[in-house]
């Protein structure tokens, strides 16, 4: 998945989502590009509580991935 790196960065930068949550998603083979289009119910089905699911559905979008890529191209700090 070409955007996997960017999806990992987006998840990592999301408040309340840490390495354990990300590892669980990857371990359960739930990690996919489809997450860019998840609604809050999809995130809940992936095991996140309602509040985090809502946050993820609002934050993890194709637009965010493009923003992260743009930030990297512009020499933004924090993305390796």
**pLDDT digit string (tens) for 54-64?**
999 999 999 99
Most distant CA atoms of the chain, gap in Å: 36
Per DSSP, the three-state class of 3 is coil
pLDDT digits (tens, 9 = 90+) for 16-45: 999 999 999 888 887 888 999 999 999 999
Dig out the tokens for 68 from the structure: 């992260």
Three-state DSSP class for residue 69: helix
Mean pLDDT of 1-23: 88
If DSSP codes are grouped into helix, strand and coil, which group holds residue 77? coil
The answer to whether residues 35 and 59 touch, using CB atoms and an 8 Å cutoff, is no
pLDDT at 74: 67
């Amino acid at each position: 998945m070409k955007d996997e790196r960017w999806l990992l960065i987006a998840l990592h930068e999301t408040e309340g989502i840490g390495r354990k949550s990300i590892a669980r998603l990857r371990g359960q083979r739930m990690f996919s590009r489809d997450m860019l289009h998840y609604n809050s119910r999809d995130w809940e089905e992936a095991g996140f509580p309602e509040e985090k699911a809502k946050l993820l559905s609002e934050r993890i979008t194709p637009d965010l991935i493009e923003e992260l890529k743009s930030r990297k191209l512009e020499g933004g700090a924090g993305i390796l």
